[in-house]
Amino acid sequence: MSHETVGSLLAVIANSLNDGLRILMFADKRAWGSDEFEQLRLLEETLDEAKKDFQELPALVNGRFYYENDRISESLEDLRDLCTRFELHAQTFKDWVRQGGGPIDPNWAHETTILRRDLHRAQCRAARRIHTAQQVDSATGSARCLGALQVYRVQQRPNVSVDEERLVCAQTGRFERFGEHDVAFVCDFCDGFLVWEDLRAVPTTRLQQHQPQPIQNVTSNANANANTPTSATNTASNSAQTSSGSGEGVTASTNWQARGITMTTSEAKTIVFAPVAIANHLPPELGDFRCRVLCPHCDEYYYEEQGEDDMERVRYVQDARGFDGVKALQEHLEWSHASIVPSTSSCRIM
């Protein structure tokens, strides 16, 4: 029976990185050029990022004990493959020093960069699998991807700045071109894609928006009709009183619009601001690669129907599966939440 765990395999990888670092640190640097110093820097940064992930990710899954001792087969398979690759990478530097040093192949730096990226994603995926298993066991909690939850929690803070949102998004995944005209965000935790169609580049700021209708009025009007959505908790009320950094009394999720430029015609277009979509995405369904997305405004709202049991009467407005991508979410926001969509003539374009 194998005694491998996530923690033991990560230790093997760390040893391989340390082997490569020691070789370069104690090598004769008198004849070194930029390639050699760049290789040393990349190995140091790879080890530092791996340590940072190992320290921070366990907090997302109820502690280091669960993370280090996890034995989910998919995670172990990912890390075994990385163990082999890092060992071969370290062997490259051992062979190099045995042959007397000399110029380093610049392709080794590229390989280190790829390994660093793959190790980060493997650790994120391992944490996500633990989180998913814990959600199944508890039968409670959010359906959001673990990466989405990190962005969502930041957006619920008072006076969160757009720089904070961008930082946590960068820690969650990356943007890349998708085909000739589209842009996609690829989540490191669930490997899912969020796609913005016909977009030249992802906007880094929002459009300035009007303050939405106070949530207290919405709730009081809703209570007048049994079939009208009411707030399930005080979450929506609390979030409506926070600021996104672009206006008083507007949450980061309420202020969802951004201005982009189309790839095909170079015309301005309104899109869902990337951190809002990222904070509300769900892991892809089996056999799919695109993420579905929850509406941040419908997430906590429900209505009551006739029935004997309290739980039987509760019907949530939003389907647990959310919407079929970013475009469908934008159409829903513009159609169902028109009261919070300002006229573009009164907006300041960033």
Q: 145-188 pLDDT, tens per residue?
A: 999 999 999 998 888 899 999 999 999 999 999 999 999 999 99
Tokens encoding 143: 């359906």
Query: What size, in residues, is the chain?
Result: 350
Reported pTM = 0.77
Contact (Cβ atoms closer than 8 angstroms) between residue 227 and residue 303: yes
Task: Tell how far CA 235 is from the center of its chain.
Answer: 22
3 or 238: whose pLDDT is higher? 3
Contacts of 97 (CB under 8 A, 6+ apart): 23, 27
pLDDT band at 134 (very low <50, low <70, confident <90, very high): confident
pLDDT of 164 = 94
13: pLDDT strictly greater than 60 = yes
Backbone φ and ψ of 314, nearest 5°: -80, 125
- pLDDT, tens digit, 9 for 90 and up, residues 91-114: 999 999 998 888 999 999 999 999
Contact (Cβ atoms closer than 8 angstroms) between residue 83 and residue 16: yes
Q: Which helix (DSSP H) or strand (DSSP E) does residue 54 occupy?
A: helix 34-56
Instruction: Calculate mean pLDDT across residues 27-43.
Output: 94
Average pLDDT, the chain: 81
Query: CB neighbours (10 Å) of residue 307?
Result: 11
Contact (Cβ atoms closer than 8 angstroms) between residue 157 and residue 246: no
7 or 3: whose pLDDT is higher? 7
The three-state secondary structure class of 19 is helix
184 or 216: whose pLDDT is higher? 184
37: pLDDT strictly greater than 50 = yes
pLDDT of 318 = 57
347 or 289: whose pLDDT is higher? 289
Comparing C-alpha atoms, which of 35, 18, 36 is closest to residue 27? 36
